[in-house]
Each structure stands twice: as C-alpha cells, then as structure tokens.
Structure 1
Amino acid sequence: MVVFRGEFKVDTSGNSDIIDITPQVRELVALSGMSDGILLVYVPGSTAAITTIEFEPGLIRDMKAALERLAPENITYYHNERWHDGNGHSHIRASFLGQSGSFPLTDGSILLGTWQQIILIDLDNRPRSRVVLVQMYGE
C-alpha cells in the first residue's frame, strides 16, 4: 500500500464562509500519481468543517441559513461566557458537520457526483487561514 500526504492553505473570511476546495484536492490527487484508493480530506481545528455540496449560490445561501437555524449565533452559549470570544455557535456547527470527508479514488479520479464539490466551511466568527490536509491510501 502506498500513502501520500499533501496540504494546502485557504484564507477565509469566517462567518460560515463556504469555499470550493475541489480544485486543490484534485491537484494533489494528480500529484500523488495514485490510481485507486481512499482519499481523506481533513481540516484541523474545532471551528471549521469539510463536507460536500452542489457549489452554487442558492445552495450556499441555503446552507448558511440552515446553519443559523441549527445553531443560532445570537443565543447563550456557555463557551462564550467562559472565553468571551463569541464563537460558541461556531464550535457547535463544526461538531455537527465534522472536520473530514473520505472519498474513493478510481482510475486517478475522485468519485464525486455530477454536481458534488468538496467544500471547506469556516464557521469561526473571524477571518482565518486554514490548512487542509489531504491523505491518500492505495495504489
């Protein structure tokens, strides 16, 4: 089995900024030279998430609205009372979504649906510079 690891940086504006990272992930897949296996995409941190979506303006707005309904920004969070950083909602949202996604690799391509892109959502309440780790296992 072969293991390949790469990473890239993404600057965000925070506040549920949704960024299509599919092109950067595909670049690393091509660089790896791997044909078949499993791809893991991971963002370290407790206020960011990795998931998939059809990356189009309507769904981006829908996702942000759904996150606000799921964990509203302007309610009491005990985290905020302790740390006074105002990002309790960010931690909850990231916990629900998760920090990673795994995808099959076949013939050197990520198996995604026709309208499916890999996205990073920065849920923190301020701009951040995020590192995205990509690890592949296979042949």
Structure 2
Amino acid sequence: MSAEVVARAAVIAALRADGALMDGLNGLFDGDPGRASVPYAYVDACIGADWGGKDMDGREVRISLALRVGDEVARRLGDMIARIDAVVAGLSVQNGWRIVTARLVRSRVARDEGRDGGRAPAGWRAVIDYRLRMVREG
C-alpha cells in the first residue's frame, strides 16, 4: 500500500480514537464533507515525495487537516489543534510503514464567513499541515 494512503488512514483512525477530540466534533471526515454541521474536521490534501536512500524505501508525506467551528471566537480551535498535535506526534508503525518523524509544518486560523454565499453560519476555520517522514518496514 502507498505511504500516502497509509498515512491518511493512520491519521484518520488515530484522530477518531481520541475521545476528547471527538467529543468536541460532530464528525471527522475523509475529505471535505461539503455539508456538515459545525464543529467538524476533515483530512484534506495528502502529497507524497521520495525520501528514500540507497538502502531505504522512504516517503515524505504532507497531509492537511481542516477544522471548522461556529463560535464567535477562535478559542476552541486552539484546544482542538493541541489535541491533533498530540495525536499526530504519537503515530508510529502502520501497514508496513514506520513513521519516523511527524512535524507541524504550519497552521492557519481565519474567520470563516460561511458557505453558500453567507447563508451557512459564520465561525472560524483552521488548516493544519504536517510532514510525515516514513520508511518501509521489512
């Protein structure tokens, strides 16, 4: 299985297993759900690149996570981002790939004016990008 697919599945499974995070969300989706009630999260783009060596099959996977909340202030996003950071940092071996490092690349928090031309409720959104460096086991 490709490192990108493994990384994506591992992140989704680990986040869904975090009860404290899931208690604060109406859902965690594989891709933008289009229609979902806030607060929710989803795994967005997943980009892979070679990170191998002479005797090592490796991949660098960049994965983006998005959060949306309907709050008037962004405070709750900070708590959710902290939970996500802890979960991603704890990833290890998955389906023949070992996650060597998991690092935050960047995060963005911005006012969300809503969807559907402003008919959907406004709130806040965050996008968090991680870099996972992975090597094939065995």
TM-score (norm 1): 0.31
TM-score (norm 2): 0.31
Q: 1 or 2 for the larger relative contact order (CA 8 Å, sep ≥6)?
A: 1
